[in-house]
Amino acid sequence: MRLIVKRPRGKRTGWNWLLIVPAIALAFPSIYSRATPEFLGFPFFYWYQIAWILFSALLTAVVYFATEGK
């Protein structure tokens, strides 16, 4: 006889899938490895990554508050 044990899923929700977006956006440097357009004197290659750092922090906060207490 087999005993089936249900394991608790923890805090996994659909919101957590949003955290993969920055990783995918930065996984292919060939997409953003260029100098133009510039923003405040920074080549595109650098400000694209900086923008994703800031967006990732915001996205992490959104996911945290959306899943808090679940």
- 54 in a structural domain: yes
Q: Give the model's pLDDT for residue 63.
A: 92
Cα angle: 18, vertex 38, 57; to 5 degrees: 25
In angstroms, the CA 62 to CA 5 distance is 33
Question: Total domain count for the chain?
Answer: 1
**What is the mean pLDDT of the segment spanning 3-31?**
81
Range of the domain at 48: 27-67
pLDDT above 80: residue 51: yes
Name the burial class of residue 29, with classes exposed (0-12), middle (13-18) and buried (19+) by CB atoms within 10 angstroms of its CB.
exposed
Q: Give the model's pLDDT for residue 47.
A: 92
- 15 in a structural domain: no
- 12 in a structural domain: no
Q: Token digits for 37? A: 């357009």
- 4 in a structural domain: no
- 50 in a structural domain: yes
Q: Return the residue matching tokens 């899938």.
A: 17
- 2 in a structural domain: no
pTM of the predicted model, to two decimals? 0.72
- 47 in a structural domain: yes
